[in-house]
């Protein structure tokens, strides 16, 4: 989910959940790693 923020852009990546077939941890961990590698800051 992408949401506009006053000072930039907020990208929310939820934690994966093995009990939810729409949120496999491997998929979300990969997205998080790619965002961090591209220079995003984690708060």
Q: Is residue 1 over pLDDT 80? A: no
Q: CA–CA separation, 20 vs 43, rounded Å?
A: 25
Q: What is the pLDDT of residue 19?
A: 93
The sign of the CA dihedral 5, 13, 20, 17 is: negative
* CA–CA dist 41, 9 (Å, integer): 11
Q: DSSP letter for 41, please.
A: -
**Assigned token pair, 10:** 């907020």
The structure tokens 């006053």 sit at 6
Write down the pLDDT at residue 37.
95
Task: Work out the average pLDDT over 13-20.
Answer: 90
Confidence at residue 4, expressed as pLDDT on a 0 to 100 scale: 64
Read off the pTM. Answer: 0.66
């Amino acid at each position: 989910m992408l949401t506009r923020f006053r000072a930039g852009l907020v990208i929310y990546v939820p934690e994966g959940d093995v009990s939810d077939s729409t949120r496999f941890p491997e998929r979300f961990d990969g997205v998080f790693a790619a965002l961090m590698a591209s220079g995003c800051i984690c708060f």
